[in-house]
């Protein structure tokens, strides 16, 4: 493992240079990787593994939308596409990529195929960490491992096709065979990771749930909505408010931050922008820090898991979810965004 200095903290990471694809293929040459679920992560991970030369099959409910998508992506029924239970039986590594709610629902079906020496693979620590609520408790005679790409399955696939990678965390919850580490790193390389950094199931889900509710989606939507509303209230047009709030950020500044860092951004903007950003960023940090602390505590206590599981059990959950999503879609902010995107050159 390579030792990298991250701002004064030394971490060990796995790169594709030290653990090349041919090494990963060698470790897994006798394994059959069964991808269970073809929703968010399933397509990207399975297609990347297949294109990299691994022995991959997909398990999905027959005649579902996801089954049809798998067919359209080139998976062949009876050859490398099977119903869930048959795929679980065939697989020596079961990549459990159903939604958290789906994992709870299908656990009894999957568990009976976890025979001695197999590996159970997750891309999210939810089911294992909150086992008191999910009842997902694997047998003791299997490896339990995790590779969590830091992005959507769509991004994982797009970057792979471009010849790039998406960074991933990895974790080992249970090492029955003594080979869990080789298995999980080989799988991490196989799915198209840029580099791999080690974590635990608990830390993965705590950071992931905090991020989703925070800077990845929840907090950023809140910031966009607040600034847009203030600008509109003060008489700015929808186009001006949207461009100053979202378009300039996502199309101009955020890509530069991704390439060079926020420190570079601060050093390479106008002195007026520089002064204002330096004066205000700590005020925003101090304002939202207590909110993030409450959020993390809610994740750590299991309350966020309880809310999620309870919501998914409601018979009318999908109907209620669609209404909440429509509130975003039908807001002036994102209706304006739809029109602005059409005008991009």
Tell me, what's the pLDDT at 3? 85
For 261-316, the pLDDT digits (tens) are 999 999 999 999 999 999 999 999 999 999 999 999 999 999 999 999 999 888 89
Q: Report the mean per-residue pLDDT for the chain.
A: 95
pLDDT confidence bin for 1, thresholds 50/70/90: confident
Q: What is the mean pLDDT of residues 189-215?
A: 96
Q: How many CB atoms lie within 10 A of CB 142?
A: 21
Is the pLDDT at 127 greater than 90? The verdict is yes
Q: What is the mean pLDDT of residues 32-61?
A: 96
Structural domains of the chain, ranges and CATH numbers in brackets: 2-199 (3.40.50.720), 211-342 (1.10.1040.10)
Task: Find out whether 210 and 299 touch, Cβ atoms under 8 Å.
Answer: yes
Residue 113 a catalytic site member: no
Which helix (H) or strand (E) is 77 found in, with range?
none
Contacts of 209 (CB under 8 A, 6+ apart): 126, 299, 304, 305
The Cα–Cα gap between 114 and 110 comes to 7
Tell me, what's the pLDDT at 293? 98
Q: Determine how β-strand 81-82 pairs with β-strand 166-174.
A: unpaired
Is the pLDDT at 124 greater than 80? The verdict is yes
- Token readout for 119 is 């590996």
For 85-101, the pLDDT digits (tens) are 999 999 999 999 999 99
Q: How many CB atoms lie within 10 A of CB 324?
A: 8
Burial degree of 51 (CB within 10 A; 0-12, 13-18, 19+) = middle
For 212-258, the pLDDT digits (tens) are 999 999 999 999 999 999 999 999 999 999 999 999 999 999 999 99
Task: Find out whether 269 and 260 touch, Cβ atoms under 8 Å.
Answer: no
Is the pLDDT at 7 greater than 90? The verdict is no
The Cα–Cα gap between 229 and 241 comes to 8
């Amino acid at each position: 493992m390579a030792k990298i200095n991250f701002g004064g903290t030394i971490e060990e990471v796995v790169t594709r240079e030290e653990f090349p694809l041919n090494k990963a293929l060698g470790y897994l040459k006798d394994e059959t990787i069964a991808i269970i679920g073809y929703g968010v992560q399933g397509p990207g991970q399975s297609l990347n593994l297949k294109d990299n030369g691994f022995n991959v099959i997909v398990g999905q409910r027959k005649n579902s939308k996801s089954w049809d998508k798998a067919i359209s992506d080139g998976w062949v029924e009876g050859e490398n596409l099977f119903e869930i239970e048959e795929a679980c039986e065939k697989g020596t590594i079961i990549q459990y990529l159903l939604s958290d709610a789906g994992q709870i629902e299908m656990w009894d079906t999957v568990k009976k195929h976890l025979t001695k020496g197999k590996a159970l693979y997750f891309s999210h620590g939810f089911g294992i960490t909150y086992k008191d609520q999910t009842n997902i408790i694997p047998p003791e005679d299997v490896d339990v491992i995790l590779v969590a790409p830091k992005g959507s399955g769509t991004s994982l696939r797009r970057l792979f096709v471009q010849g790039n990678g998406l960074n991933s965390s990895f974790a080992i919850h249970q090492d029955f065979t003594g080979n869990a580490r080789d298995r999980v790193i080989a799988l991490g390389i196989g799915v198209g990771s840029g580099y791999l950094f080690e974590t635990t199931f608990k830390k993965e889900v705590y950071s992931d749930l905090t991020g989703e509710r925070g800077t990845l989606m929840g907090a950023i939507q809140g910031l966009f909505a607040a600034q847009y509303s203030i600008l509109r209230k003060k008489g700015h047009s929808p186009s001006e408010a949207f461009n100053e709030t979202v378009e300039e950020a996502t199309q101009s500044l955020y890509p530069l931050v991704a390439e060079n860092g926020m420190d570079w951004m601060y050093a390479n903007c106008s002195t007026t922008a520089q002064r204002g950003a330096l004066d205000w960023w700590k005020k925003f940090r101090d304002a939202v820090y207590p909110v993030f602390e409450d959020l993390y505590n809610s994740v750590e206590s299991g309350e966020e898991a309880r809310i999620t599981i309870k919501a998914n059990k409601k018979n009318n959950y999908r109907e209620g979810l669609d209404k909440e999503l429509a509130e975003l879609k039908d807001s002036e902010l994102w209706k304006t965004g739809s029109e602005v995107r059409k005008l991009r050159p």
